[in-house]
């Protein structure tokens, strides 16, 4: 049984079990002159250090939020968790697939990173679809190219198939 996240931590709020609890005011999406996101390192580290205990809390945010900055931050946290060996994120495909049709370069990039690291079999098709979609309808004034991460994820899927 996984213990719930500490109720004394400022990033935890029991109301979030129904709806996301914060507006992610510390999340800064890319702007001209800065082609990367800025997140609250302390907040990200808190969730990464909580490991599997944080997954239900974060999936709740992904379920209910439509705020791009908030969603991007949660996907960033999941990417960091994967880098730190947290288990169970590969089981979240049904929830992650909610974003397979997004036109957000930020969400596409982090989602592609998660799919690359987890090699979820159902993630391959949506990656190809994103790449084609972005080729037909390129981003106007992009601060970065999400197709680099998407293409890298696709290559990772393919290279793993031929390693035997």
Model confidence, pTM: 0.85
Q: Which domain does 117 fall in, by range?
A: 14-161
Domain total of the chain: 1
Instruction: Note whether residue 8 is domain-resident.
Output: no
Residue 24 has pLDDT above 80, yes or no: no
Instruction: Note whether residue 106 is domain-resident.
Output: yes
Mean pLDDT of the chain: 86
Instruction: Note whether residue 6 is domain-resident.
Output: no
CATH of the domain at 104: 1.25.40
Instruction: Note whether residue 7 is domain-resident.
Output: no
Q: How many CA atoms lie within 13 A of 49 on its CB side?
A: 9
Instruction: Note whether residue 156 is domain-resident.
Output: yes
- The pLDDT tens digits for 86-145 are 999 999 999 999 999 999 999 999 999 999 999 999 999 999 999 999 999 998 777 888
Phi–psi pair at 63, nearest 5 degrees: -70, -40
CB 105 within 8 A of CB 139: yes
Residue showing tokens 């592609």: 112
């Amino acid at each position: 049984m996984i213990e719930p996240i500490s109720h004394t931590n400022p990033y935890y709020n029991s109301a979030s079990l129904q709806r996301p609890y914060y507006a992610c005011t510390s999340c800064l999406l890319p702007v001209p002159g800065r082609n990367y996101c800025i997140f609250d390192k302390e907040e990200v580290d808190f969730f990464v250090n909580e490991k599997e205990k944080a997954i239900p809390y974060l999936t709740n945010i992904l379920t209910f939020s439509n705020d791009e900055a908030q969603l991007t931050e949660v996907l960033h946290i999941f990417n960091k968790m994967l880098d730190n060996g947290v288990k169970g994120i590969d089981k979240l495909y049904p929830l992650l697939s909610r974003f397979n049709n997004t036109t957000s370069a930020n969400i596409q990039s982090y989602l592609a990173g998660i799919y690359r690291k987890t090699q979820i079999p159902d993630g391959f098709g949506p990656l190809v679809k994103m790449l084609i979609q972005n080729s037909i309808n390129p981003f106007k004034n992009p601060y970065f190219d999400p197709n680099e991460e998407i293409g890298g994820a696709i290559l990772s899927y393919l290279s793993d198939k031929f390693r035997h």
